[in-house]
């Protein structure tokens, strides 16, 4: 099999892979020659050196994106063909890409393979996504003041889209921004998280080999503190699509100026378990929702709201299910729990757990770590005065909060500053729909935990969880502008 990735890095004198970035169709280093190190969180191995870009490098990237791609060079049909070819190449090199995801993120290889598969599926669905671009015909006869007229409503590209992606799904989330942006005819500047930049570099190479025109996609790497503002504030960038922490996302609108902004931020997903629920199903699903990818998901179950009279039975089942989640070498296909991303993340998770225990919660399992492997943890007796009841955890921890009835569960869930996801377990479908409408989250899942997959259903947050929606067809809405042409029929 051809090594298509050899052009994106070279060995330095110490035998370490030194990566380049993609600007104006060329894989290049930056003028300063500065790099930062990327480590494997599972074993501390240095796996790459990546360009540490400066604000001046951002300006160079924007100038390349401004030159753009002529429509005749990248017409809609070719965009679809490129995405189909990219899917083929990605699947052909899937194991190589999954391995680099695991090496830089510490997630189990089984989850990385799933991420590759989901990205390939997203590429497969581009034809469905592109249908949004067909436009719309509006007859005027339905309204008095538009009689004798009709309108054609078109969707046009915004221009330059900055796609800023996080560490937890470094391939799929970046791809889910880049694919619809390119389909819509935009040029893209993509910045990956500094902990996990390699996956995006690999994906950019795949798109390049698939035939994406020179300059359609630029990749810039570096610390958010150094180049984040240079990207966000640049007046030539027309849209910001950001997935990451609420603390960073809240600052973007005030700095960006008049741009289209899409934000997918933090979450505090509740799992409400009512007394008529299938407790075995609830325990199985909730452990998956809390522990998968070490809880490093914005839609991870972050608190369990359980009716008092069934709590003891439910916890027995929950503990039994939690025993299945074993920590191990992320490259072992049997491993369910890998690492958290870095020491800062681990220390924050542990501080939340210790705060809860200090205030009276009991650790039924876990509450400990070795290196960056944090044990799956279940805390009982969690109350609202504990930080872990209110703050996003982003780790494999399930806090259990006892409630008297569903009304109390809804009140507690809605009291959060977040509003991304929640779920509930009950056999009463009428009650489930009533509760689902009362919950103030962007998505509510009944008898399963949140899991957005390739984005067939739209998803996104309310309150401090973000702005806008993502998903097949819905992402196109965020990355285009409407253009209305009105025709007087008798003119």
Provide the token pair at 248.
């960073």
- Regarding whether 108 and 203 lie in a shared domain, the answer is yes
Which of 20-29, 257-266, 306-315 is the least confident region? 20-29
Q: Residue 72 above 90 pLDDT?
A: no
Q: What is the mean pLDDT of the chain?
A: 95
- Regarding whether 291 and 259 lie in a shared domain, the answer is no
- The 10s digit of each residue's pLDDT in 464-490 is 999 999 998 899 989 999 999 999 987
- Regarding whether 197 and 93 lie in a shared domain, the answer is yes
Instruction: Kindly name the residue from 104, 129, 208, 298 that is annotated as catalytic.
Output: 298
Residue where a domain terminates, one of 265, 286, 316: 265
- Regarding whether 274 and 251 lie in a shared domain, the answer is no
Instruction: Kindly name the residue from 115, 129, 208, 264 that is annotated as catalytic.
Output: 264
pLDDT of 280: 98
* Residue 126 CB neighbours (<10 A): 22
Residue 474 lies in a domain: no
Residue 491 lies in a domain: no
**Residue that is written with structure tokens 């935009």 in the block:** 186
Q: Residue 407 above 80 pLDDT?
A: yes
pLDDT of 131: 84
SS3 content of the chain, % helix, strand, coil (to 5): 40, 25, 35
- Regarding whether 258 and 289 lie in a shared domain, the answer is no
pTM recorded for the entire structure: 0.95
- Regarding whether 330 and 248 lie in a shared domain, the answer is no
21: domain CATH number?
3.40.605.10
- Regarding whether 213 and 323 lie in a shared domain, the answer is no
Which of 70-84, 161-175, 444-458 is the least confident region? 70-84
Average pLDDT of span 294-300: 96
- Regarding whether 198 and 177 lie in a shared domain, the answer is yes
Rounded distance between C-alpha atoms, residue 234 and residue 327, angstroms: 44
Residue 149 lies in a domain: yes
pLDDT of 491: 59
- The 10s digit of each residue's pLDDT in 195-236 is 999 999 999 999 999 999 999 999 999 999 899 999 999 999
pLDDT of 470: 92
What DSSP state is assigned to residue 459? B
Q: What is the largest CA-CA distance in the chain?
A: 78
- Regarding whether 159 and 198 lie in a shared domain, the answer is yes
Let me know: does 302 contact 269? Beta carbons within 8 Å: yes
Structurally, the chain folds into a number of domains equal to 2
- The 10s digit of each residue's pLDDT in 87-116 is 999 999 999 999 999 999 999 999 999 999
Q: Which residues contact 231 (CB under 8 A, 6 or more apart)?
A: 58, 162, 164, 189, 191, 220, 237, 240
Which of 125-129, 441-445, 456-460 is the least confident region? 125-129
Rounded distance between C-alpha atoms, residue 243 and residue 136, angstroms: 30
- Regarding whether 222 and 276 lie in a shared domain, the answer is no
Residue where a domain terminates, one of 243, 265, 287: 265
Rounded distance between C-alpha atoms, residue 353 and residue 25, angstroms: 47
Question: Is residue 247 very low, low, confident or very high in pLDDT (cuts 50, 70, 90)?
Answer: very high
- The answer to whether residue 26 is catalytic is no
Rounded distance between C-alpha atoms, residue 379 and residue 363, angstroms: 5
Residue 480 lies in a domain: no
Judged by DSSP in three states, 313 sits in helix
441: domain CATH number?
3.40.309.10
Rounded distance between C-alpha atoms, residue 160 and residue 158, angstroms: 7
- The answer to whether residue 136 is catalytic is no
Let me know: does 272 contact 422? Beta carbons within 8 Å: yes
Q: Which residues contact 23 (CB under 8 A, 6 or more apart)?
A: 60, 61, 64, 218, 219, 220
At how many degrees (to 10) do helices 198-210 and 172-183 cross?
40
- Regarding whether 282 and 199 lie in a shared domain, the answer is no
Q: Which residues contact 89 (CB under 8 A, 6 or more apart)?
A: 4, 206, 209, 210
Judged by DSSP in three states, 382 sits in coil
- The 10s digit of each residue's pLDDT in 378-406 is 999 999 999 999 999 999 999 999 999 99
Residue where a domain terminates, one of 237, 265, 293: 265
- Regarding whether 261 and 284 lie in a shared domain, the answer is no
| Residue 232: domain span | 6-265
Residue 278 lies in a domain: yes
pLDDT of 249: 93
């Amino acid at each position: 099999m051809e090594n298509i990735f050899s052009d994106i890095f070279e060995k330095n004198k110490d035998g370490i892979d030194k990566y380049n970035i993609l600007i104006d169709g060329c894989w290049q280093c930056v003028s300063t020659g500065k790099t930062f190190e990327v480590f494997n969180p599972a074993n501390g191995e240095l796996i790459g050196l990546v360009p540490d870009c400066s604000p001046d490098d951002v300006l160079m990237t924007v100038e390349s994106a401004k030159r753009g791609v002529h429509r005749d060079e990248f017409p809609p049909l070719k965009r679809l063909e490129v995405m189909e070819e990219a899917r083929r190449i990605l699947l052909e090199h899937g194991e190589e890409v999954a391995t680099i995801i695991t090496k830089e993120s510490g997630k189990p290889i089984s989850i990385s393979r799933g991420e590759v598969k989901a990205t390939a599926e997203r590429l497969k669905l581009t034809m469905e996504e592109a249908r949004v671009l067909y436009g719309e015909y509006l007859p005027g006869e339905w309204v008095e003041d538009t009689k004798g007229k009709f309108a054609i409503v078109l969707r046009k590209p915004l221009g330059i889209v900055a796609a800023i992606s996080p560490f937890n799904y470094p391939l799929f989330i970046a791809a889910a921004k880049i694919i619809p942006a390119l389909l819509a005819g935009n040029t893209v500047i993509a910045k990956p998280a500094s902990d996990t930049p390699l996956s995006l570099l690999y994906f950019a190479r795949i798109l390049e080999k698939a035939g994406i025109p020179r300059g359609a996609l630029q990749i810039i790497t570096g610390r958010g503190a150094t180049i984040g503002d240079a990207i966000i504030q640049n007046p030539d960038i027309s849209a910001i699509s950001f997935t990451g922490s609420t603390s960073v996302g809240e600052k973007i609108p005030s700095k960006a100026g008049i741009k289209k902004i899409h934000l997918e931020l933090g979450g505090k997903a509740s799992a409400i378990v009512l007394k008529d629920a299938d407790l075995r199903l609830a325990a199985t699903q909730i452990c998956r929702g809390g522990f998968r990818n070490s809880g490093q998901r914005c839609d991870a179950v972050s608190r369990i709201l359980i009716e008092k009279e069934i709590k003891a039975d439910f916890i027995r089942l929950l503990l039994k299910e939690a025993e299945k989640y074993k920590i191990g070498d992320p490259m072992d296909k049997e491993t369910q729990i890998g690492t958290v991303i870095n020491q800062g993340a681990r220390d924050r998770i542990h501080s939340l757990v210790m705060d809860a225990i200090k205030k009276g919660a009991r650790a039924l399992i876990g509450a400990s770590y070795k290196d960056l492997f944090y044990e799956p943890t279940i805390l009982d007796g969690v109350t609202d005065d504990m930080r872990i009841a209110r703050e996003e955890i982003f780790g494999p921890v399930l806090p259990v909060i006892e409630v008297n009835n569903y009304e109390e569960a809804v009140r507690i869930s809605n009291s959060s500053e977040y509003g991304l996801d929640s779920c509930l377990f009950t056999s009463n479908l009428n009650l489930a729909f009533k509760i689902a409408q009362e919950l103030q989250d962007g998505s509510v899942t009944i008898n399963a935990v949140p899991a957005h997959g390739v984005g067939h259903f739209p998803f996104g947050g309310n309150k401090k969880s973000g702005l806008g929606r993502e998903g097949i067809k819905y992402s196109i809405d965020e990355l285009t502008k409407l253009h209305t042409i009105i025709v007087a029929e008798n003119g």
